Structure 1
Amino acid sequence: MNKLFFSVFCALLLSSAGNAAPAASSSSSGTSTVSAVAASSTVPLASDDPNGIAWNATVDGDTDAQPIRGSLGAQIMGPQNVPLQQLNPDAVAPPTTDAGSVPNFKWPFSMSHNRMQTGGWARQQNVNAMPIAKTMAGVNMRLEAGAIRELHWHSSAEWGYVIKGTTQITSVDNNGRNYVANVGPGDLWYFPPGIPHSLQGTSSDGEGTEFLLVFPDGSFSEDDTFLLTDWLAHVPKEVVAKNFQTAISAWDNVPSKELYIFPSDSPTSDEAVSDPQGQVEVPFSYQFSAVAPTQYSGGTAKIADSTTFKIAQQVAVAEVTIEPGAMRELHWHPTQDEWGYYLEGTGRVTLFASSGNSYTLDFEAGDVSFAPATFGHYIENIGNTTLKVLEIFNTDVFQDVSLSQWLALTPPALVKAHLGLDDETISKLNKTKQVVVGRPSS
């Protein structure tokens, strides 16, 4: 009986909410005209309350960053980390559309512990820093001119993107075919699991190189790689000599522990050692910087996956630029997780996790984001400069689903029944992906 009363009460409440909505009316006597969409027959209509960022330290500079949005919230009375609050308006004063519980999907590399060596440094993000990112991890590494990330291999594939400078990569595959290449800014490399390789900063610009590494394994740790010096330091020296058919004294200078990153002379050539097996059939590097991006109304995008970068069978990337006020359209990825890296600018992302759960966060250069497969999201440029971001995926071929395209290619009556859109609005939905949409003209 109580359940019946509760159901009737809810129905009456919704009915009264619908009756309270203003109806369209007009009069020739000069009275005002009010237009409103009728209330839904099942749930109230979505709120029109503004939900922009509560402040914008990137554009406006120093600001009073308090958890207040309209009549909601109140000033912090206790200790505060004001600089951190200023950079995270959507965490401190979230939009009212945020709801439920979504795991943190932001990690600044500046929060990562830095491993400093003579000649460079490395810092990483994995599930220990951001537990939601179960399928991918990243490393930001810097090598001075000549410095070497020593000969090594991984149980995971390694995908690299050069941020600045030039990196010389070397490798030998399982068939004994070798490869050497200088990889410049905006270009890529990829080594399959177990393939040995090295990375070295060149003197092309006098400063060496800095790059991003991504691994399709969220638990990957840069500290767990298989290193040449580490291995030989843990094999009896007489066994090493026997393996190479030399005297034991030939190995007197083998380090007693791993080198990891160490200084050396800059490479003077990018020619591979003469190899009777020849060079690898599929190059380990790709000149992504030379790929012309596709222009959209709000920015650009270009893609590198196994259809163009043949060797990259486990990692794909989209490099996206978004102009001020524009956005990477509402979308999701069917089966691939997205590991994002912000190169320039300031962005805003809402992650929709289904079942009424959503969370909005803000990102700057050097930040990492993560969107699990099927989670709806967008990237909005909330700064006054171009936003540049890498969308990196644990897949061989890039895929996404556009919300706008989905609705445009669905029978109009069905869309109207769901969203209450009028015919004119439905007719303007794009049947092709917009990818990056510009600021509205009005």
Structure 2
Amino acid sequence: MKLEALSQALCLLPVFLPLASGAPTRRDGNSPMRGTASLAGYSPSENIATGLKPDIKYSLLPGQKENADIGTYLDFENVENPQPIRGSKGGDDPGPRNYYYDRINSDKLAPPGTDHGQTINAQWPLGLSRNRLGIDNAGWARQENTVVMPDATEMAGVDMRLEPAAYRELHWHLAAEWALVLNGSCRIQAVNEHGETFIDDVQAGDVWFFPAGIPHSIQALDDGVEFLLVFDQGDFDEDNTFLATEVFLHTPKSVLAKNLGTSISAFDKIPDDELFIFKGTPAPEDIEKQNVTTSAGIIPRTESYSYHFSEQPAHEVAGGSVKIIDPQTFPIASNFSAAVVTVHPGGMREIHWHTTSDEWTFFIRGQGRATLFTAPDDATTFDYRSGDIAYFPQSSSHYVENTGDEDLVFVEVLQAPQFTDVALGQWIASTPRQIVADTLNLSESTLSQLKTEKQYVVAGTTSD
């Protein structure tokens, strides 16, 4: 700015005088932070400035030019200025906005024309959950429950990491715990109400289950471990777990001594706070050295708390694969049923719903999207990434489509004694053609292409 112009600009600034309190005021008595009453409402001298239209530069993806009801996935990942436009719907957005969220949630910014009304929020990224850190760099844990997903009332989840030799300290809780090892390996241990003992080493892909109230511990082996915990209470809170340290801290030492047959001084060095996640002595390589037994013996194999799911072969289908675990093969987890699903690029977990349970889903790898449909006519499409949680209420239809260029892997968890679902394709194909044609006005050639068997995962084929 030239010196003359700067001088003129400074002359236009209001002059302030100090008050006794030190707060400035203008000569006209008005606060410098407020205007005058003359600015309210209509003014004959009011002038609207010209040239206020934002200069928005953008280009549309091919799918944005299609009819909105086609609902092609819009990959905004590398789009500089994605816009909320599909076909004849929507309009440009000059901001303010969070471009990062818009790029990874294209179906929120520009939803398919088939979305309608408002369903529950069926998505929670664990990356938005507070990460509770263990001591001495021993690990961390972050959770999802009804605090962040109010409608996910039947199940809650925790993603936990333990560094090598680190423990999740001895504990129990009111909820039953179902776990899937995501990577690494660990040693799990428990004692049941009969005094029967259990110990086992599990690795990536394996599952464990501890009934409510059963005390147990988890220690990472040489590679460390990360695991997914699913609880059968939507309001479960990891911070409300019953911990061994807290039991000892909040029971009179004289009572502890009497109960355990020791001296009071034996408890002089117990921790002065909970340990939660901490490092300890590495577990011996030979698990037999830790195989403590009582007169009751060990937990029978038919009631085992672990299942080596990693060794179960997947059922291969056209668009990917499916592995199912439920009480038929893992009876101790009497109301937990799950499927680990792999969807190849372009494929999708077929449209389905579960008749007896809500579905709690965790995305392990890749990216995808799903449309949740709830009666009578609400539908919302969500975009998911690794580390996200999805929640689909009982009998509400949904699919999961792979929208990336690598395999999409996720686990579906049900509160049910058997893993079952109803598939849209099988239902329509197994209904008399006349009924379907009269209802949906589908052609005979279309009906002849439908399959009477469940597909589970369909390949990524498209047609006009």
Which protein shows a greater Rg? 2
Confirm whether residue 266 of structure 1 aligns to residue 282 of structure 2. Answer: yes
Q: Distance between the aligned counterparts of 1:319 and 1:435, measured in 2?
A: 11
Change (3 A) 1:418 1:318: same
Contact 1:54/1:69 (<8 A) preserved: no
Contact 2:76/2:82 (<8 A) preserved: no
Show CA shifts across 1:192-242 (max 9, x none): 111110011111x3xx11110000110000001111111110011001001
Q: Distance between the aligned counterparts of 1:133 and 1:68, measured in 2?
A: 31
Residue number among 70, 73, 77 corresponding to 2:94 in the alignment: 77
- 1:277 CA displacement: 1.4
Residue number among 380, 397, 416 corresponding to 1:376 in the alignment: 397
- What amino acid sits opposite 1:73 in the alignment? G
Aligned to 1:65: 82
CA RMSD, Structure 1 to Structure 2 (Å): 1.3
Contact 1:157/1:314 (<8 A) preserved: no
How is 1:209-288 mapped onto 2 (pairs within 5 angstroms)?
209-268=225-284, 269-271=286-288, 272-281=291-300, 282-288=303-309
Residue number among 152, 165, 184 corresponding to 2:171 in the alignment: 152
Q: Distance between the aligned counterparts of 2:184 and 2:244, measured in 1?
A: 25
Residue number among 343, 363, 371 corresponding to 1:350 in the alignment: 371
Aligned residues: 390
How is 1:78-117 mapped onto 2 (pairs within 5 angstroms)?
78-117=95-134
Indicate the SS of the match to 1:289: helix
- 1:48 CA displacement: 7.8
Change (3 A) 1:288 1:346: same
Residue number among 40, 62, 71 corresponding to 1:51 in the alignment: 71
Contact 2:69/2:112 (<8 A) preserved: no
Change (3 A) 1:375 1:49: closer
How is 1:297-336 mapped onto 2 (pairs within 5 angstroms)?
297-336=318-357
- What amino acid sits opposite 1:92 in the alignment? L
- What amino acid sits opposite 2:161 in the alignment? R
Q: Distance between the aligned counterparts of 2:452 and 2:294, measured in 1?
A: 52
- What amino acid sits opposite 1:65 in the alignment? P
Contact 1:331/1:400 (<8 A) preserved: yes
Residue number among 185, 190, 202 corresponding to 2:204 in the alignment: 185
Change (3 A) 1:50 1:106: same
TM-score normalized by the length of structure 1: 0.86
Q: Distance between the aligned counterparts of 1:92 and 1:428, measured in 2?
A: 34
Aligned to 2:54: none
Contact 1:324/1:387 (<8 A) preserved: yes
Q: Distance between the aligned counterparts of 1:320 and 1:78, measured in 2?
A: 38
Contact 2:180/2:208 (<8 A) preserved: yes
Show CA shifts across 1:371-390 (max 9, x none): 01100000001111110011
- 1:422 CA displacement: 1.9
Query: Which sits farther off after the overlay, 246-255 or 320-329?
Result: 246-255
Q: Distance between the aligned counterparts of 1:416 and 1:71, measured in 2?
A: 30
Structure 1: any 5+ residue segments left out of the alignment? 1-46
Residue number among 167, 185, 191 corresponding to 2:186 in the alignment: 167
Structure 2: any 5+ residue segments left out of the alignment? 1-66
Residue number among 433, 438, 441 corresponding to 2:459 in the alignment: 438
Indicate the SS of the match to 1:149: strand
TM-score normalized by the length of structure 2: 0.82
Show CA shifts across 1:282-313 (max 9, x none): 11011111111111111100100000111111
Aligned to 1:36: none
Name segments (4+ residues, structure 1) moved above 4 Å. Answer: none
